[in-house]
Structure 1
Amino acid sequence: MRLHVGCAMWTLKSWQGRFLPHPLPVGERLRAYATWCNAVEGNTTFYATPARSTVESWARQTGPDFRLVVKLPRTITHEGRLTGVEEELRSFLEAIEPLGPRAHALWVQLPGSFAPTDLGTLAGFLRGLPRSYRYAVEVRHRAFFEDERSGRFLERVLAGVGAEWVPFDTVTLFQSPPTSDAERDAWTKKPRVPRRSVALTDRPIVRYLGRDATERTIEGWRQWIDTVTEWLREGRSPTVFIHTPDNADAPMLARRFHDDVRARLPEVEPLPEPMPAEPLTLF
């Protein structure tokens, strides 16, 4: 029984010398991160399709059981809005091919303006994708969460191709006013939508955003501990990504989430031992 946990990135300046060894070549940072977490969000691909050689490096640094949830480029989802993007999609799929089984799901994050009236476009786009990958869709328009009919329609579209609905749980962030610059920035950028915790497939994906204060982040994820534990008991294989506004403690928090689930289900496979952040010495 395995639970996958991870962060929004695999390297951050504040992690160097604390969670990750420093100095560390760019081509070794994912390998070091993979000793902390067994999954990561592939957010960088949203901004540009990576070179195939870069993706080959990601594959070399991780084992086949490591999970990357790889975001489709914004040229496909936000600029093209899933229409007339065949060439961009072909280039992207060619680039990520070296990931093999590490590409846990291709992540279709849609803009907040993508409404229930656009679901026909989404359905056509998903039907045209190769079946060699799993797909996960994140929507941000409030109607999908507040209008029951719109939510059911989206679920039918996703079920038709075996795709998952990715919730981005920001409830904890917006429970009370921000107390740091990072939280204030997150308040202006993150979607304010109701929490959703229904799995459509056997591999649900959750994005959880807490606060910069560790205790508030942990308090806010209690419902997810219950939900993820139940999913595992049902035989599902979830992936949970832990965010905070500054992400300074994200690797530690991801492992804490994993520990909290293992406290309920000891049969969950443990995470690897983290690589030492400081070089080993003889004395």
Structure 2
Amino acid sequence: MNQPREILSSPKWPLSVGAPVWACDGWAGVVYPSKTPRSEWLAWYTRTFNTVEGNSTFYAVPSESTFRGWAEQAAEGFEFCFKFPKRISHDSMLQDCDEEVREFLSRLRVIAQADRLGPTFLQLGPQFGPDRLPVLARFLRRLPRELPWAVELRHHDWFDSGDQEARVNELLRDLQIDKVTFDSRPLFQSPPEDAIEEKSQVRKPQTPVRQTVTGQRPMLRIVGRNRIELTQSFLDQWLPILVGWVEAGLRPIVFTHTPDDRLAPRFAELLLAKLAGEMPGVDFTLPRPPQSPEQLSLLD
């Protein structure tokens, strides 16, 4: 396998930046060298970004051997941020799912033992409201404290700027569990410009945006547009917040979504360029893979 040997680690940025997937056909020459076999995409991705959303676990939990393979392919310093299976978060709504939780935890520990595990995030559906706070509290208190966790809320009553929002924030702070902010404002700023954006606007929620910090790894999932320049003003709003978090000793995580996954690296690169302007002492360059077989052979 043509593993890159001269690049042994993920980018050493003071925050984690990644895409919603690690496998995309349109990333040849951007994330992977051209004609790279799919089996090697993850290895190259982990040398371009230092984190990724593990969305596949939302739909099914792969075997232990699959998780072990992922851990072996990931570069030093890389972190997987897996999503809880929907059988736990949505179907069971955190109740009567002990067997599923045990199975998922056993897989996460494979990644944790390899020192490649970032916060695993529990995305709760729009039907899971503040009336279920006791259920959420019981579930979170039973999670092993040695593993990192994050929670994304989607029911609008969690964002009341009052008692309900304060109570869930207090719970997360007490447990040092990070809160996920889902910012879809860039996506919904104007009507869709293509069929992919139209589909994305149907699927993605519009939850209120917060900058609440409840742990050490505040997580931002931001959904842009296929015309990346339309995201500029929103990134400019986030820039001082992200820099402030870093300067306060936090290590934020940012996932750059675009309706067309092929454009997610460009969105990330725009963010990194803006960060470089605010933190000139840090190299925020997005690593590029070799472009030709001749260049690739030099790394063999």
Deviation for aligned residue 1:18: 4.5
| Structure 1 counterpart of 2:3 | none
Deviation track 1:175-222 (CA, whole Å, cap 9, x = no partner) reads 211111111111111111122112222211110011110100233211
Name the structure 2 match of 1:72.
Answer: 84
Q: Tell me if 1:37 matches 2:44.
A: no
Distance 1:280 1:224, change over 3 A: farther
Partner of 1:132: 146
Select which of 38, 55, 62 maps to 1:50: 62
Shift of 1:86: 0.8
**Cα displacement (A) at 1:169:** 0.2
1:98 aligns with 110
- The equivalent residue for 2:165 is 151
1:19 counterpart (31, 38, 45) = 31
Match for residue 100 of structure 2 among 88, 91, 107: 88
Give the TM-score, by structure 1 length: 0.94
What TM-score, normalized by structure 2, do the two folds share?
0.89
Separation of aligned partners in 2, 1:7 and 1:162:
25
Quote the offset at 1:272 in angstroms: 6.2
- Residues 20, 146 of structure 1: CA spacing in aligned structure 2 closer, same or farther, 3 A cutoff? same
Q: Residue 271 of structure 2 aligns to a residue in which SS?
A: helix
5+ residue gaps in structure 1? Answer: none
Give the root-mean-square deviation of aligned CA atoms.
1.8
CA distance in structure 2 between the aligned counterparts of 1:79 and 1:89, rounded to whole angstroms: 13
Q: Secondary structure at the match of 1:172?
A: helix
- Out of 102, 119, 130, the position equivalent to 1:116 is 130
Match of 2:218 in 1: 204
Q: CA deviation at 1:269?
A: 5.0
TM alignment of 1:181-196, pairs within 5 A: 181-196=195-210
SS in 1 for 2:262: coil
SS of 2:226's equivalent in the other structure is coil
Distance of aligned partners of 1:270 and 1:172 in 2 relative to their CA distance in 1, 3 Å threshold: closer
Q: Which residue identity does 2:15 align to in structure 1?
A: L
**Matches of 2:243 and 2:221, distance apart in 1:** 16
Residues 19, 277 of structure 1: 8 Å contact kept:
no
| Residues 5 and 254, structure 1, Cα contact 8 Å, conserved in 2 | yes
The yes-or-no answer on 1:7 pairing with 2:19 is yes
Q: Answer whether contact 1:8 1:42 (CA < 8 A) is retained.
A: yes
In 2, are the aligned partners of 1:5 and 1:241 still within 8 Å (CA)? yes
Work out the CA distance in 2 between the residues paired with 1:65 and 1:278: 27
Q: Residue by residue, what CA displacement relative to the aligned partner does 1:124-149 show, whole Å, maximum 9, x if unpaired? A: 00000111211100011111123522
Report if aligned partners of 2:185, 2:206 keep a CA contact under 8 Å in 1. yes
Using the aligned pairs only, state the percent identity: 34
Indicate if the aligned counterparts of 1:78 and 1:111 stay in contact, CA closer than 8 A: yes
1:167-178 matched pairs, under 5 angstroms: 167-178=181-192
Q: Mind listing any 5+ residue stretches in structure 2 that lack a counterpart?
A: 1-12
